[in-house]
Structure 1
Amino acid sequence: MMNKTYCPSLTEYQRRLSRVVNIGDVLLGGKNPIRVQSMTTVDTMDTLGSVEQTLRMVAAGCEYVRITAPSMKEAQNLLEIKKELRKRGCTVPLIADIHFTPNAAELAARIVEKVRVNPGNYADKKKFDFIEYTDATYQDEVNRIRERFRPLVQICKQYGTAMRIGTNHGSLSDRILSRYGDTPLGMVESALEFLRLCEEEEYYDVVLSMKASNTQVMVQAYRLLVQKLDEEGLQPYPLHLGVTEAGEAEDGRIKSAVGIGTLLEDGIGDTVRVSLTEAPEAEAPVAKALIDRYTTRAADAKPIAPVTEVPIDPFQYHRRITHEVLNLGGQNVPRVMADISRLSSVEYADLRAVGQLYSVFLDKFQMNDLGADYIYSGQRPVPFMLPNGLKEVVDYQAWLDAGRRPDHFPVLTQAEYATAGPQHTELNFVFQNLESLTPSALDQLRADPTAVIILYTDNAHAMPELRRAFFRLINQDVTNPVIINRQYSVLTPEQTQLYAATDVGGLLLDGLGDGVVLSTELLPERAKEEWLPTIDRLNQLSFGILQAARTRMSKTEYISCPSCGRTLFDLQETTAMIRKRTDHLKGVKIGIMGCIVNGPGEMADADYGYVGVGKGKIALYRGQDVIKKAVPEELAVDELIELMREDGRWIEPVRLEEPVGV
């Protein structure tokens, strides 16, 4: 039977107790706080620029600062940066980021408090070649790499320098890919090969990471790593969490929260880096907002019945099996329901907040890519005919009072549902939580092909309680579709964004959920003008979460690195320029990488790539294949579009007409 254990508890909030690693004077792991870190974007040879940026990052909340050292000269200059920082009274531990240059790592390890190495390209090969290995020839390669790695381990041990063995999904070596494939297991084995040597040398100041831009892969890899460490009797090393190349703005924050937050919910993680294509000082507050949610979680949480049987595979994605009800469940993509029940009245123009734009001049609606599938109007049904495709959900009593209209779908409380009064012939929604899913309720749901559950919780430990409810449904063979409902109290927009991405995204990554509805708590009466922006924001957030969890692609995805001293062009400006030209390409994934280190490998999940290869020069990729080399930067976006056109992936943008007279 598969060992599914990867965290202390699936129902009670507990931090995974890792060994403590000293990084400078800032302890990591054990019962120490979850630490915040980020990475500079200034050229490492710019000493004062690096120092000034580091100081801004520390002021923003960074407890560790990482700096790239792509060659010996940058590694040496880390000493000058460190001297200037210490002169200014800044004692933040510095981390050298190493990729292809073992000699730079060995030099940096004598200077800084920690080095990060990527086992996929540290003395290993990445040419996208498939190689047939026998056990003997494979072990010969492992031995060769370990001999190249051993000097760094010995230097770190001698100087008291910590090390992060940081596997990236996109930069697995040809050797690992040939044996394990492009899998979470390959990521884990890549790190364990290096870790086993560290333990042979009795060197334990190690931190591990399993980063990917695909949140499903990232979460599965971290879980599998924890399970493998325990299975092999290795030390419980602290874990650095991050979604690599998360992107920018709202998308980057949502994607980071889906991946990082899912692991934090289960007590996994000792330090966090949120990788945004923005100034590095913008990253720390996002990481801190994610971390701070767990400061009092154990005290605030209500007890949840322990899990006796885990009915899912936590290391591989499988969507929960459900039967189809109208357009919910079965093989349908997860649906978005927008809560408009706070509006005292609804007019045509108000539906813009749920992705439906009305033109008085044309007397018709146009739906954008983020058009909700359902609206919940509560006790006040919309007084006009809705646009095609948009369905309305009303409270059960309102449905009865309006004469049981067939174009309205009722939502019932469990008490109303249990009385088995008149119901819709096609689709009925039922509010349920873990407590209400009693044996009799489960029997009724199992026998009702029209019922769709709206699953909610008021537990501070929300995602695990909702997951526990899903486990009950699966174990009791209840296949009704489930809409995940999260309602939040008075939070900032960013807190709502991060919390919802964690709570809903964590379930979607395990294949749980057939839709989402987000809302804020019932506040005193507010004007429509105040509610509409909130409804719009929550609708966009719902689609963003589904996209970040890879369950419904509704817009273009940009896999863009957060920049560093290796970057060969202005990433923020370039990403904005590419987004402006391509943001209508629904479902297309575009990797935007500042240098070859974060190039074809790191964007393993992208359809197309835009990669800096020299000053003013860009390489264009189709997947991991170079199609055009050294394209002048001023022509590169046009050439990228031409490449898509050749593949039949390009469509001319058609902008929705602005509503007239509303």
Structure 2
Amino acid sequence: MEPLIHSSEIHYCDSLTKYSRRKTIPVRVGDVIIGGDNPIVVQSMTTVDTMDTQGSVEQCIRMIESGCQLIRITAPSIKEAENLRNIRNELRKRGYQTPLVADIHFTPNAAEIAARIVEKVRINPGNYADKKKFEVIEYTDASYQEELERIRERFLPLVKICKEHGTAMRIGTNHGSLSDRIMSRYGDTPLGMVESALEFLRICEEENYHDIVISMKSSNTQVMVQAYRLLVQKLNEGGFKPYPLHLGVTEAGEAEDGRIKSAVGIGTLLEDGLGDTVRVSLTEDPEFEAPVAKALIDRYTNRKNHSEIPAINEYPINPFDHTKRESKEIYNFGGQNVPRVITDISRVENISEKEMKAVGHFYLPELDKWKMNDLGCDFVYSGNNPIPFMLPNGMREIQNYEVWKNAQDQSNKYPLFSLHEFQSASAYHAELNFLEVSDTEIESISDLVQNRKDLVLILKTSNAHGMPALRRAFVRLIQENNSIPVVVKVSYPDQTADQTMLYAATDVGGLLVDGLGDGILISLEKEGAHTREEILEQIKLHNNVSFGVLQAARTRMSKTEYISCPSCGRTLFDLQETTAMIRKRTDHLKGVKIGIMGCIVNGPGEMADADYGYVGSGKGKITLYKGKEVIKRSVPSENAVDELIEIIRADGMWTEPETI
């Protein structure tokens, strides 16, 4: 068990159980104020070439009308920085006052120009004053201090310009682009990310410049969450001002995967009151990002009114390092097993073999065989509607206790008990039983379940502050040295598919990031009346989201992961089209991570977690990577996907796709 941390030592949030937004200093960006008592701000980034003034303006307007309150535009060189004036003037002429942010990498001179034009500049401390060469450098304290003096000299002019012009700044650390200096001293760690930002922040504070927002982005949700928490902890311990936070998961990807991955990282932090501005990075047109960010943020509008959750006085979880909660192995739950997916099909009467495709299992009648895709669930919960046919090998059925106890074939079905049923039952399954309890019942079950070797908990809550309520229940189990496996159950009333993805990713993903949970069950119980077809679509959504949440939290890799950046003005090819093309050829490669980056800025560093990389290196030219190693340079784009597949094949990771 992790060493206990007293609540007084937790400085990254106000409370682990009571919703409270972290109080920060307000930072003015034009007419928008980030932090303080102000609502969380939604932002996004243009994808049009910054030199295309009209195209940029038209896209900005579409973004504003979709709910974007802050617009970031790339300025990779002096000419783009200077053209920000034309874009800004045209927007103002057309009646749009939305503040603009210049995105800077590698080019301090561009930042110094942009800071005189737009309301905010974003700098990346990993490449503002450094050129990354992936070198390991041995530093003495004296030589390290010399490096800090060099950074100060390079950075100070921008700070002074920002002070003079009232321009805000974001110090935006990215996990994949830490400098060689930081990597050499701190390694590829959340601490390295935090120290990278603090080096620049100290210079700002010495100059009495405080119009600063900070971010700690990563494509790895565990690293991202840990880095933000550690940043706030270090700010408080180091006597810094409480600067606002910009939240984002970098290179989240597209469609369902991008939304889920963003919500696991961003939602986990919002639950603890962290975050003052949000950007959801999707490989889609930027006007589709703001509504997703707003859907995440809107959950917290009235969150303060939630039911009281007992306080956590000693915390047995290290919030800055992922460690899976120790649980005993029961059947195929807990222990070293990956988290399991239980899919609720309980509202479908007399479900057919054909309809099981909603849960990733496909019946082939001509062969009288079953096939399963990467999203084939482990268990189905049929409730009071038992399945009328033999299930494929590898999938199991859970029934309500009252149905199970009257079933003819009890050995191949598993019962789900309420607490009352479990206490009074006369029969149990010899190997595997499920007990459904709420977070408020967790205090009373310890003696009942402590020594059972045939039991898995299904844990739920009705508290509006759901994730912390469930987390509090896990803490109670850990404090009692109770190692029973726990499946987290969540349920939502009728809502959009996007909301289901975002809410489940937050409520369950936030627990998984902290090593809590041995499975996921998204329930149908709060769904309204639907046709059979609509219910089956809902089941398919829940099944797919369940696997997506486990993957996004890095706890079960069941499908190919695409670490693809959102497009921007630096991009050297059509990211959406290219991502779709690569996905079409490779999405059967289970557990393989492929980075798809539009330019070298978001290249080998940003895709730090990828197994293989596809990076724009010039017009019509692609550089291909294995990890961070360049394998082929300047590959013509028309051949690049084939060449990428050959690299994967030569590495022994390629399999031929099957048709179902």
Contact 2:11 2:236 (8 Å CA) reproduced: no
The aligned counterpart of 1:397 is 402
The aligned counterpart of 1:189 is 195
AA aligned to 1:457 is T
Aligned residue among 10, 14, 36 for 1:8: 14
**CA distance in structure 2 between the aligned counterparts of 1:66 and 1:607, rounded to whole angstroms:** 29
Aligned residue among 397, 414, 430 for 1:409: 414
AA aligned to 2:490 is R
- The runs of 5 or more residues in structure 2 that have no matched partner are none
**CA distance in structure 1 between the aligned counterparts of 2:526 and 2:199, rounded to whole angstroms:** 53
AA aligned to 1:398 is V
**CA distance in structure 1 between the aligned counterparts of 2:450 and 2:514, rounded to whole angstroms:** 22
**CA distance in structure 1 between the aligned counterparts of 2:492 and 2:249, rounded to whole angstroms:** 25
Aligned residue among 449, 458, 465 for 2:469: 465
**CA distance in structure 2 between the aligned counterparts of 1:315 and 1:108, rounded to whole angstroms:** 36
The aligned counterpart of 1:488 is 492
The aligned counterpart of 2:275 is 269
Q: Secondary structure at the match of 1:436?
A: helix
Aligned residue among 124, 131, 136 for 1:130: 136
Aligned residue among 323, 331, 335 for 1:330: 335
AA aligned to 1:434 is D
CA spacing shift, 1:523–1:594, aligned 2, 3 Å: closer
Contact 2:175 2:216 (8 Å CA) reproduced: yes
Contact 1:490 1:520 (8 Å CA) reproduced: no
Query: What is the CA-CA distance between 1:523 and the residue it aligns to?
Result: 4.9
| 1:199 is aligned to 2:211 | no
The aligned counterpart of 1:425 is 430
| 1:355 is aligned to 2:360 | yes
Query: What is the CA-CA distance between 1:416 and the residue it aligns to?
Result: 1.3
Q: Secondary structure at the match of 1:484?
A: strand
Percent identical residues:
67
The aligned counterpart of 1:19 is 25
Counting only pairs closer than 5 Å after superposition, residues 289-300 of structure 1 correspond to structure 2 as 289-299=295-305
| 1:584 is aligned to 2:620 | no
AA aligned to 1:547 is Q
Q: State the Cα deviation string for residues 478-512 of structure 1 (Å, max 9, x = none).
A: 10100000011111111111111110100000000
| 1:603 is aligned to 2:607 | yes
Q: Secondary structure at the match of 2:405?
A: helix
CA spacing shift, 1:523–1:273, aligned 2, 3 Å: closer
**CA distance in structure 1 between the aligned counterparts of 2:567 and 2:249, rounded to whole angstroms:** 14
Comparing 5-14 with 253-262, which one deviates more in the overlay? 5-14
CA RMSD across the alignment: 1.0
Task: Report how many residues are paired.
Answer: 654
**CA distance in structure 2 between the aligned counterparts of 1:391 and 1:67, rounded to whole angstroms:** 51
Q: Secondary structure at the match of 1:282?
A: helix
Counting only pairs closer than 5 Å after superposition, residues 14-413 of structure 1 correspond to structure 2 as 14-299=20-305, 301-403=306-408, 405-413=410-418
Q: Secondary structure at the match of 1:37?
A: strand
Q: State the Cα deviation string for residues 334-369 of structure 1 (Å, max 9, x = none).
A: 000010111121111121111111111111111111
Aligned residue among 546, 553, 567 for 2:571: 567
**CA distance in structure 1 between the aligned counterparts of 2:531 and 2:623, rounded to whole angstroms:** 52
AA aligned to 2:239 is G
Contact 2:327 2:484 (8 Å CA) reproduced: yes
**CA distance in structure 1 between the aligned counterparts of 2:408 and 2:426, rounded to whole angstroms:** 14
Q: Secondary structure at the match of 1:199?
A: helix
Contact 1:276 1:561 (8 Å CA) reproduced: yes
Query: What is the CA-CA distance between 1:401 and the residue it aligns to?
Result: 1.2
Query: What is the CA-CA distance between 1:524 and the residue it aligns to?
Result: 5.8
**CA distance in structure 2 between the aligned counterparts of 1:612 and 1:34, rounded to whole angstroms:** 34
- The runs of 5 or more residues in structure 1 that have no matched partner are 657-662
**CA distance in structure 2 between the aligned counterparts of 1:250 and 1:45, rounded to whole angstroms:** 32
**CA distance in structure 1 between the aligned counterparts of 2:311 and 2:165, rounded to whole angstroms:** 45
The aligned counterpart of 2:440 is 435
Query: What is the CA-CA distance between 1:404 and the residue it aligns to?
Result: 6.6
Q: State the Cα deviation string for residues 573-615 of structure 1 (Å, max 9, x = none).
A: 0000000000000000000000000000000010000000100
| 1:643 is aligned to 2:647 | yes
Query: What is the CA-CA distance between 1:420 and the residue it aligns to?
Result: 4.8
Contact 2:563 2:594 (8 Å CA) reproduced: yes
Query: What is the CA-CA distance between 1:16 and the residue it aligns to?
Result: 0.3
Q: Secondary structure at the match of 1:372?
A: coil
**CA distance in structure 2 between the aligned counterparts of 1:4 and 1:458, rounded to whole angstroms:** 26
**CA distance in structure 1 between the aligned counterparts of 2:523 and 2:618, rounded to whole angstroms:** 48
Q: Secondary structure at the match of 2:502?
A: helix
**CA distance in structure 2 between the aligned counterparts of 1:51 and 1:625, rounded to whole angstroms:** 38
AA aligned to 1:8 is D
Q: State the Cα deviation string for residues 17-72 of structure 1 (Å, max 9, x = none).
A: 01000000111101100000000011111111111110111011111000000000
Q: Secondary structure at the match of 1:401?
A: coil
AA aligned to 1:593 is M
Q: Secondary structure at the match of 1:216?
A: helix
Query: What is the CA-CA distance between 1:530 and the residue it aligns to?
Result: 2.2
The aligned counterpart of 1:511 is 515
**CA distance in structure 2 between the aligned counterparts of 1:239 and 1:445, rounded to whole angstroms:** 42
The aligned counterpart of 1:660 is none
Contact 2:218 2:224 (8 Å CA) reproduced: yes
Aligned residue among 625, 630, 638 for 2:629: 625
**CA distance in structure 1 between the aligned counterparts of 2:91 and 2:407, rounded to whole angstroms:** 70
Query: What is the CA-CA distance between 1:403 and the residue it aligns to?
Result: 4.7
Query: What is the CA-CA distance between 1:525 and the residue it aligns to?
Result: 5.3
Contact 1:4 1:314 (8 Å CA) reproduced: no
Query: What is the CA-CA distance between 1:419 and the residue it aligns to?
Result: 2.3
Query: What is the CA-CA distance between 1:429 and the residue it aligns to?
Result: 0.3
Contact 1:404 1:424 (8 Å CA) reproduced: no
The aligned counterpart of 1:659 is none
Aligned residue among 515, 530, 537 for 2:534: 530
Q: State the Cα deviation string for residues 243-266 of structure 1 (Å, max 9, x = none).
A: 000000010000001100000011
Contact 2:491 2:526 (8 Å CA) reproduced: no
**CA distance in structure 1 between the aligned counterparts of 2:277 and 2:410, rounded to whole angstroms:** 53
Q: Secondary structure at the match of 1:437?
A: helix
Q: Secondary structure at the match of 2:508?
A: helix
Q: State the Cα deviation string for residues 211-269 of structure 1 (Å, max 9, x = none).
A: 00000000000000000000001000000000000000010000001100000011000
**TM-score under structure 2 normalisation?**
0.98
Comparing 142-151 with 518-527, which one deviates more in the overlay? 518-527
Contact 2:106 2:131 (8 Å CA) reproduced: no
**CA distance in structure 2 between the aligned counterparts of 1:411 and 1:162, rounded to whole angstroms:** 56
Q: State the Cα deviation string for residues 517-539 of structure 1 (Å, max 9, x = none).
A: 10233456543222111111110
**CA distance in structure 2 between the aligned counterparts of 1:651 and 1:399, rounded to whole angstroms:** 41
Contact 1:116 1:165 (8 Å CA) reproduced: yes
AA aligned to 1:75 is A
**CA distance in structure 2 between the aligned counterparts of 1:651 and 1:449, rounded to whole angstroms:** 39
| 1:557 is aligned to 2:575 | no
**TM-score under structure 1 normalisation?**
0.98
